[in-house]
Structure 1
Amino acid sequence: MSMAIGLALALGGVAAAPAATAPDTPMERAITAPGPKGDLAGTLREAAGDGDAPVVLILPGSGPTDRDGNNPMGLKAETYRYLADDLAARGIASVRIDKRGMFGSSAAGSPEDVTIGAYAADTRSWIDAIREETGAGCVWLLGHSEGGLIALSSAAQSGEGVCGLILVAAPGRPLQDIIREQLRANPANAFLLKDADRIIDALVAGETVPDSEIPAPLLPLFRESIQGFVRSEFALDPAELAKATDLPLLLIYGGRDIQVAPTDGERLAAARPDATLATFPDMSHVLKSVAGDGMQANLATYADPDLPLTDGVGEAIAAFVKVAPKR
């Protein structure tokens, strides 16, 4: 499988994975929110200090990514667990979650029978549950990668109870443009580009493409069972969604991100000139510093659970949350 496809694979729906477990600690406890068929599951990480802490809801990236930021496709970075710990030490509580149909949320519905709108509705349920559980007047939405698109869509549906948005390595262009770019980044994909463009054009137009008309290497991206989800992504322009909300907005990007370029953050910042944009030159897509040059050094950050987050990321988020206007 080519690297471009491997990076893009997670943009589509996936089959449910086994339930994940997270041991309780004195600072963590389980939290649930109502889902369409059963409860959505997450972990509430309490903040150090008093009980009146801001709360950040961490919306995970694409594919079968669990509440800690790992998935069975080789991602073992523990990004969201590290982020929760860092924020807690800075006086900010957080909730990290399993998506509908996956891991602890497997009873909530099918992981393939979803759209961005459905994930936005789940986010709305989480906001209500967190406010009830913690007494917080509002909740910050932190969307990583595809989670940023979900955060923007949720705010577009309703900003009630949302303190503001923190978009981390989030797309700033329509997803179809990013997928085309990823596929073209690897010369080994040259024989697939004509078919990929044909399929993408059809999905953008709202059409269905039968599996029989999709080359085998492209099926993980575009198989018919997930085309409803893919079409819902392709219908959205993140910059237009950002422009449509006046919520406080923090944009965080990595200079060594091989999935979403810092220029995506610049496009969002152009749509929202009042947003705060922070770029960390050595940071990869999983918010860790890349030691060395080349693709292998970058990919190593995806598979090392002991590698900490890039210095300054948690600090930038905490500083923004603490000085933003109260809602």
Structure 2
Amino acid sequence: MSVQEELTAPGPTGPLKGTLTLPVGREPLRSKTPVFLIVPGSGPTDRDGNSPLGIAAGPYRLLAEALAERGFPSLRIDKRGMFGSSGAVSDPNDATIARYGDDLLSWTSAIQERLPAENGARCVIVVGHSEGGLVALAAMSRSPCVCGLALIASIGRPLHDVIREQLRANPANAPFLDEANAALTTLMRGERVEGSTISEALRPLFAPEVQGFLIDAFSYDPVELAAQVKVPVLVVQGTRDLQVSVADAQELARAAPHATLALVPGVNHVLKTVSSDDPSENLATYANPTLPISPAVVHAIAQFAEKIMEE
């Protein structure tokens, strides 16, 4: 059982908003109990892990509820300019990895204020899912209250390499691969692609309004960032993830000085267990909020926190 409350933090022009999930009967928390800060993935992903682009699996909500059952509080957040945080900035597309990192700093301060520890700062474990892992990695050097980092289904290569691979993996993209590769190369140089020249099939990926974010995101190497992390790191990767590979997770775990790698058999990108390699069955789970989150994912994250508490 858990209780939930809305929490706010200062944003650039208005409040950032999220949901704090607390274990029933566990407050006040022990000073050593960490709080998980769940950082959402790419695009219009909300605090529950859902998106108007066809994702309704609710992985972040399910993770928060499962962690509460294990005695751990968590905060899941809406990105600046979106959903509950729509007033935080005027344009949600005017974002960079560093600006999202600024928001994480604001959230860690809000956690300290709401759940202060008796001695020193409250331990915060940042949980970055997918693109949220890159945001978390980039912000780590600026986050003094963070005592651990969990990277779930997070890329271990520059984003442009991942996009190329994902495009090649779908045979339907064959007619557009040359154009997509040219666009990626242009953005990697820090230059924009003329919107009127983009094929209709590629416009959702290379829309003019998101090109500034892509240019910025392409400049980061997750492995280089992981090598600089000084706190314990947990890398969680499902073996049936259609978007991020086991090789990505292995690269991150090799790079981080204090890393634990948890490969979870049969789990996909939205943290649900899939019984076969059939892509259609896998993708069907993206729209199924009743399918539970993988217990193995929850166990790995909770065990990681328990180990940090013992240190």
> TM-score, length-normalised on structure 2?
0.94
Work out the CA distance in 1 between the residues paired with 2:289 and 2:126. 24
- Deviation digits for residues 287-313 of structure 1 (CA, Å, limit 9, x no counterpart): 000133311110111111100011221
Give the match for residue 300 of structure 2: 316
User: How many residues are aligned here?
Assistant: 302
Work out the CA distance in 2 between the residues paired with 1:245 and 1:273. 7
Work out the CA distance in 2 between the residues paired with 1:26 and 1:151. 26
Give the match for residue 142 of structure 1: 127
CA contact (8 A) 2:2 2:23 kept: no
| 2:12 is the alignment partner of 1:36 | yes
Work out the CA distance in 2 between the residues paired with 1:281 and 1:292. 11
Work out the CA distance in 2 between the residues paired with 1:289 and 1:210. 41
Q: Which moved more, 1:268-277 or 1:60-69?
A: 268-277
1:187-226 matched pairs, under 5 angstroms: 187-226=171-210
Give the 3-state SS of the residue equivalent to 2:286 in structure 1.
coil
CA contact (8 A) 1:117 1:232 kept: no
Work out the CA distance in 2 between the residues paired with 1:173 and 1:200. 15
CA contact (8 A) 1:163 1:326 kept: no
Give the match for residue 169 of structure 1: 153
Identity of aligned residues (%): 51
Whichever residue aligns with residue 39 of structure 1, its letter is P
- Deviation digits for residues 191-225 of structure 1 (CA, Å, limit 9, x no counterpart): 11111111111111111111022212111111221
Whichever residue aligns with residue 134 of structure 1, its letter is L
CA contact (8 A) 2:60 2:76 kept: yes
Give the match for residue 115 of structure 1: 96
Whichever residue aligns with residue 89 of structure 1, its letter is E
Give, in angstroms, the shift of residue 234 of structure 1: 0.3
Give, in angstroms, the shift of residue 123 of structure 1: 0.8
Whichever residue aligns with residue 75 of structure 1, its letter is I
Work out the CA distance in 2 between the residues paired with 1:132 and 1:302. 35
CA contact (8 A) 2:228 2:256 kept: no
Give the 3-state SS of the residue equivalent to 2:76 in structure 1.
strand
Give, in angstroms, the shift of residue 268 of structure 1: 0.7
Whichever residue aligns with residue 144 of structure 1, its letter is H
Give the match for residue 250 of structure 2: 266
CA contact (8 A) 2:38 2:75 kept: yes
Give the match for residue 22 of structure 2: 46
| 2:261 is the alignment partner of 1:285 | no
Work out the CA distance in 2 between the residues paired with 1:100 and 1:199. 27
Give the match for residue 287 of structure 2: 303
Give the 3-state SS of the residue equivalent to 1:239 in structure 2.
helix
CA contact (8 A) 1:39 1:108 kept: yes
Work out the CA distance in 1 between the residues paired with 2:66 and 2:227. 30
Give the match for residue 129 of structure 1: 110
Work out the CA distance in 2 between the residues paired with 1:208 and 1:63. 19
| 2:235 is the alignment partner of 1:251 | yes
Which of 207, 218, 223 is the equivalent residue of 1:234?
A: 218
- What is the RMSD of the two structures over their aligned residues, measured on CA atoms? 1.5
Whichever residue aligns with residue 283 of structure 1, its letter is V
CA contact (8 A) 2:128 2:135 kept: yes
List gaps (5 residues or longer) in structure 1.
1-24
Give, in angstroms, the shift of residue 319 of structure 1: 0.9
Which of 145, 153, 163 is the equivalent residue of 2:138?
A: 153
Give, in angstroms, the shift of residue 135 of structure 1: 0.6
Once superposed, which parts of structure 1, at least 4 consecutive aligned residues long, lie more than 2 Å away? 47-50
Give, in angstroms, the shift of residue 326 of structure 1: 7.5
Give the 3-state SS of the residue equivalent to 2:295 in structure 1.
coil
List gaps (5 residues or longer) in structure 2.
none
> TM-score, length-normalised on structure 1?
0.89
| 2:88 is the alignment partner of 1:104 | no
